[in-house]
A and B are shown apart, each in its own frame.
Chain A
Amino acid sequence: MHDFLEFMSLREPSVRYVVLSCVLLGAAASMVGVFGFLRKRSLVGETVAHSMLPGIGLAFIISGSRDPIYLVTGAVITGWMSMGFMNWLTRKGPIKVDLALAITLTGFFAIGIGIMTYIQRGSFGDHSGLDHYIFGRAAAMEPSDIRVFGGLAAFVFVSVLLLFKEFMGLCFNREFLSVLGLPVRFLEFAISFLTILAISSGIKAVGIVLMAALMIIPAAAARYWTGSLRWLLTLAISFGVIAGVAGAYISFQARSLPTGPFIVIVLALITAISVIFAPEKGLFSRWAKKKRLSRRVAAENFVKEVYQIIEKGKDKNSNISKSEFIVHFHYSPRLFFRSLRWAVARGWIVPAVDGMKLTQRGFSKGEELNRLHRLWEIYLARKAQTPLEKVHHSAEIIEHILTPELEAEIRLELDLCDNFSPQNEIHIKA
């Protein structure tokens, strides 16, 4: 803990700059990642990142130096070539996008590995540290690295902010922008180019193999939490920054550990939390919603059945005992008590000494459910030509979800008068 606080205080200048550049590249990558995600092109980033390896190797061979300026230039060039190659593959002929991605990724990466091996075997001077570019080593960043990579990330960040509304339009409806006379091709070029720059900003800190994770995962996790693009960007950037800082931290703590994998683990954790706990779209809230529905349905069924016993000739206020209920409806004791509890909680039933009683609200609820049930049966039989033996089963479900508006519409369509009451209609037996 003390180490972490010491790290976060950013007292040490070397730590300060590495953290700053990780924050910047995390933000830039997750930002362009959102647009890739929205254009359903998440895997393009993965391919481009892998395709940077041959560029790094070649740049080192040609320049004979490990200056990040040269290496990044090489990376951007082969990254750009890979994008062009993918487009060329898919434009004409039978190759689909997934295949083009796979061919490009493996092809460029294989060439890259070949070049790297060649460098290690040959005599090209000091090639130590080149392998950092594969899995990433944030702590190994030197001031010159930080200037180049941080600068790239900052450039991407500002550019995306400036073109935010156009990128939104482009992702949503390209043709509309084109009719407006906006330079769609330039915008597409810009989005691709910024993607490549964002990836290249992380090749040393995160490594080319896992850099794409920093683009793809924050956007995907953020989508669980929000339906607004501004929030999506904000959240994705926050996730990217958290992961970037976490990567920098582990890199300083355990200097032999590569940064990339640790960043991916942090991102995976964020994603897991999102998948499980996000409101509405998360697993937990969907499970809870389902649970609530099934409880409501059970309570409603219970009330409806009590109502039916009364309807058969009992007084509204009479007590119904448990045994009387069970004679009519075959409930297990467990289901009986649970349904009773949920109906009581909703104020539809009050327990009495020798059984239970319907409240006024419970009575009208039971009446409503019965009415909706029969209304739906009639609707199916008359309008949908459903065989009579099938209508009951469907109505058992529909009675719980018909809204007043829908009920009014069904009445209108069936030409039923307003004072339609199910008692006047013959109940269609299952």
Chain B
Amino acid sequence: MNQSVFSSSKVQKKSEFVGSLRHTFEIMEGKSKMSSAENAIEIENLMVSYHHKPVLWDIQLSLPAGQIIGIIGPNGSGKTTLLKSIMGLLPLDSGTVRFFGKPIKEVRGRLSYVPQRESVDWDFPANVRDVVLMGRYRKDNLFKRLSKEDHRIANEAIEKVGLTDLAKRQIAQLSGGQQQRVFIARALAQQADIYLMDEPFVGVDAATEDAILKLLAEMRDEGKTVIIVHHDLQTAYSTFDWVVLLRTRLIASGPKSEVFTAKNLQNAYGGKLSILSRLGDILSEEEIELGKKEPS
């Protein structure tokens, strides 16, 4: 099924429906028994734009479960946008994202998010435990107090990142590395299956980096899937099992040894202004919206 770039949202819904129908048939035929079991995330035809400028262009991607996956690419290549659109934080122009074969609505509790450290105001009046407990917020404990069990899980997460002594410390008084650990503890407290982290190694000290790497390995061994947006090409090879190379469009995705080829890296980091970004300028100037019908 070939989905048009300029499909309307109605068409998109229809295609989603057709897609799920097809999926059902495939299951009935026993075709896709592996794909949904093995893959944590499947992305189809994903297209996202910002102020009419395409940031992600026709991304087609399957990410395996139980691995540490790195999303790599130069500045402005859409890494964070990909992460956010996977989690449904950004409106998609087109495309679908499925987790273990299910739409996001059915797997909310199994996703965990570690945002960029700079994305929040650390002057906020809260202590370490307050923030980690946020990982226990649920739709069904709205209006209610958190349970003893929630507190126990949060304390466990705090211990895992080595902040037990600082549990009552105001977050404003923490170092950058400690703040990052608070975010990771909050994600751990969620007890999710898929962890999506945005640049967790930026601005942290060596001790924190080691602690995070150790935790990641532990999580993988427990069968969790960890997806990390990472800008540092130097450390990428040693950190990840699976690598997604991105530059507005998908350059490559696969086991790291297959992805890290000279040609792929040249494609991702190579100099020339790509046709896509030039096209993006035009789209932005003319205020053409992707995923909508052509302006008549």
User: Known: A169-B134, A175-B89, A178-B89. Is A226-B125 also a contact (CB below 8 A)?
Assistant: yes
- Are the CB atoms of A182 and B139 closer together than 8 Å? yes
In the bound complex, residues from chain B placing their C-beta under 8 Å from that of A165 are 133-134, 137, 145-146
- Tell me if B155 is interfacial: C-beta within 8 Å of chain A: no
A 34-54 to B, binary, CB cutoff 8 A, 1 in contact else 0:
000010000000000000000
Which of the residues A171, A177, A228 comes within 8 Å of B137, measured between beta carbons? A177
- Tell me if A61 is interfacial: C-beta within 8 Å of chain B: no
- Are the CB atoms of B111 and A179 closer together than 8 Å? yes
Cα of A182 to Cα of B146 in the assembled complex, Å: 15
Residues 179-205 of A contacting B (Cβ, < 8 Å):
179-183
- Tell me if A287 is interfacial: C-beta within 8 Å of chain B: no
In the bound complex, residues from chain B placing their C-beta under 8 Å from that of A38 are 124-125
- Tell me if A329 is interfacial: C-beta within 8 Å of chain B: no
Which of the residues A173, A181, A183 comes within 8 Å of B134, measured between beta carbons? A173
- Are the CB atoms of B89 and A162 closer together than 8 Å? no
- Are the CB atoms of B108 and A181 closer together than 8 Å? yes
What's the minimum C-beta distance from A317 to chain B, rounded to whole angstroms? 44
- Tell me if B87 is interfacial: C-beta within 8 Å of chain A: yes
SS of A interface (majority): helix
User: Known: A163-B143, A180-B190. Is A175-B115 also a contact (CB below 8 A)?
Assistant: yes
Residues of A within 8 A of B (CB-CB), count: 25
- Tell me if A397 is interfacial: C-beta within 8 Å of chain B: no
Cα of A172 to Cα of B172 in the assembled complex, Å: 12
- Are the CB atoms of A181 and B125 closer together than 8 Å? no
In the bound complex, residues from chain B placing their C-beta under 8 Å from that of A212 are none
Which of the residues B113, B133, B143 comes within 8 Å of A176, measured between beta carbons? B113
Cα of A162 to Cα of B173 in the assembled complex, Å: 29
- Are the CB atoms of B139 and A179 closer together than 8 Å? no
B 9-52 to A, binary, CB cutoff 8 A, 1 in contact else 0:
00000000000000000000000000000000000000000000
What's the minimum C-beta distance from A95 to chain B, rounded to whole angstroms? 16
In the bound complex, residues from chain A placing their C-beta under 8 Å from that of B84 are 175
Residues 208-236 of A contacting B (Cβ, < 8 Å):
223, 226-229, 232
Cα of A226 to Cα of B111 in the assembled complex, Å: 34
In the bound complex, residues from chain A placing their C-beta under 8 Å from that of B146 are 165
In the bound complex, residues from chain B placing their C-beta under 8 Å from that of A176 are 113, 115, 134, 186
- Are the CB atoms of B125 and A227 closer together than 8 Å? yes
- Tell me if B109 is interfacial: C-beta within 8 Å of chain A: yes
- Are the CB atoms of B131 and A228 closer together than 8 Å? no
- Tell me if B112 is interfacial: C-beta within 8 Å of chain A: yes
B 109-151 to A, binary, CB cutoff 8 A, 1 in contact else 0:
1011101000111001111001101100111001101100000
- Tell me if A168 is interfacial: C-beta within 8 Å of chain B: yes
Cα of A152 to Cα of B140 in the assembled complex, Å: 27
Residues 58-77 of B contacting A (Cβ, < 8 Å):
none
User: Known: A165-B137, A180-B108, A180-B137. Is A173-B142 also a contact (CB below 8 A)?
Assistant: no
In the bound complex, residues from chain A placing their C-beta under 8 Å from that of B115 are 173, 175-176
- Are the CB atoms of A172 and B134 closer together than 8 Å? yes
In the bound complex, residues from chain A placing their C-beta under 8 Å from that of B111 are 179
- Are the CB atoms of A181 and B126 closer together than 8 Å? no
Cα of A179 to Cα of B84 in the assembled complex, Å: 9
Most buried by B among A177, A182, A223: A182
B 75-90 to A, binary, CB cutoff 8 A, 1 in contact else 0:
0000000001001110
* Contacts from B to A (Cβ < 8 Å): 84, 87-89, 108-109, 111-113, 115, 119-121, 124-127, 130-131, 133-134, 137-139, 142-143, 145-146, 170, 172-173, 186, 190
Q: List 26 A-B contacts (CB under 8 A).
A: A166-B137, A168-B126, A168-B130, A169-B134, A172-B131, A173-B119, A173-B120, A173-B134, A175-B84, A175-B119, A178-B88, A179-B111, A179-B112, A180-B138, A180-B139, A180-B190, A181-B109, A183-B142, A227-B125, A227-B170, A227-B172, A228-B125, A229-B124, A229-B126, A229-B130, A232-B125
